[in-house]
Amino acid sequence: METGIATTPFGRRPMSLAMLAAQNESREIPKGRVVDKWQIYRNLCEGKSIVGIGDRALAVLNALLSFYPDSELSEENGLIVFPSNAQLSLRAHGMPDATVRRHLAALVDCGLVIRRDSPNGKRYARKGRGGEIEEAFGFSLAPLLARACEFEAAAERVRADNRALRLMRERITLHRRDIHKLIEAAVEEDVPGDWGGLWKRFRSVVEAIPRRACIAELEPIVADLAALHDDVDKLLEIHMESTNPSGNDSQSERQQSDSNTDSIFEFEPALEKSGSTAEPRTRTVEPPKTYPLGIVLKACPEIADYAVDGIGNWRDLMVTAAQVRGYLGVSPSAYEDACHVMGQETAAMVIACILQRAQHINSAGGYLRVLTDKARAGEFSVGPMLMAALKANGSPTRMAG
């Protein structure tokens, strides 16, 4: 039961106007108010940055609340707990006594508890003849009951800020992903534009993002990324409108592609009629004499996972490679160029090797273009790639040069 005496601290502890204000506020608890003590504690844990209390002090408060016998705080049941520092230390997971005292002082300074010191500074309760507590000296939890609504509002504010921060970071992530992939696609497809400048601008914004930031710090970053995203979209829209004014041009290009019997697009699965018994329009492809198909599949077994009915011949490998190049992000133009320069069989083997090492290659399309340029200059052979893949798979098979 609360009393009006012993409001000043015992011994050398000074009294302050803040402590007096906390005591006065605790006397203005609305009549009949009952609040779950652990809900108050959870609200304090969430709103600790607003209340201005630390984790260790909250651990001591948790220990204090554990000495309150009821699950709900109310004036009718009394609001004073009187454990010793040794008992508090045990329930605070062995926190040192000096640390307990320091954090008890922090709880008092924050106005979360009030000292009700006895004449000799000890904590105890005096019981009546019936066994009920008549007077207790220790720590009053009245401020928790009086300020319960304030702590709930603080917790809700922190939750709202966290939601807003999470949404802000999601927007940043989406902008970063879109800008990165759109610029990469534009460079891969040779779209006109200052993509190098846009990339530098993009990296300068990304590198300025702090690892820990508040909403105010992220707002200008989101604005910069949104503006950059718009610039990238506009360039791509202009290019698409200029290259595809009507369906006639694209239809003409398809007709030209169909007339080229050596084109790799004839191996694209989308252009083959399922269940058709017609003979393919492509020329008969002779497999490379120096690299048996079995060796290729042993060096690059992952490509077989993408084949619909397995890989039993070179045509199956080339059809599967044409499909896999899309999964790797290789543009049709880059793969067709590789087929014209290297030959369809070699290009398929290169795709199989790239797929096997996909996790180590940042840009499969760029890597294939580099190899194509080397092959055009007579500086590339697929043999070393297959040998490296065989060694990586633990198969030291020798291949003919």
Three-state DSSP class for residue 388:
helix
Q: What integer pLDDT is reported at residue 39 of this predicted model?
A: 93
How far apart are the C-alpha atoms of 370 and 69, rounded to whole Å?
75
Evaluate if pTM is beyond 0.85.
Answer: no
pLDDT for position 385 = 87
Extended strands (E) in 121-277 = 124-127, 133-140
- Kindly state the tokens that stand for 31: 């009549």
Q: Rounded distance, CA 105 to CA 13, Å?
A: 10
> Residue 55 in contact with residue 74, Cβ under 8 Å?
no
| DSSP β-ladder status, 133-140 and 80-81 | antiparallel
Structure tokens at 292: 């048996």
Main-chain dihedrals φ then ψ at residue 35, nearest 5 degrees: -135, 140
Question: Would you list the domain boundaries of the chain?
Answer: 17-146, 164-243, 259-392
User: Could you list the mean pLDDT of each consecutive 10-residue stretch along the chain, which spans 401 residues?
Assistant: 49 56 62 86 92 90 90 81 88 89 88 78 71 76 87 91 88 90 85 87 89 85 91 87 56 41 42 37 41 84 84 88 85 90 91 88 88 90 86 59 41
Per-residue pLDDT, 28: 67
At residue 326, the pLDDT reads 82
What is d(CA 101, CA 97) in angstroms, rounded to the nearest whole number?
6
Instruction: Could you please state the CATH topology (level 3) that the domain comprising 17-146 is classified under.
Output: Arc Repressor Mutant, subunit A (1.10.10)
Cβ atoms within 10 A of the Cβ of 10, count? 15
CA 71/CA 180 separation, integer angstroms: 54
Specify the amino acid at residue 67.
F
Tally of residues, the chain: 401
Give the H or E element holding residue 345.
helix 344-356
Tokens describing residue 133 = 């507590």
Which DSSP symbol is given to 68?
S
CA-closest candidate to residue 88, choices 52, 112, 57, 47: 57
Residue 4 phi/psi, 5-degree rounding, is: -95, 5
- The C-alpha atoms of residue 236 and residue 126 are separated, in whole angstroms, by 82
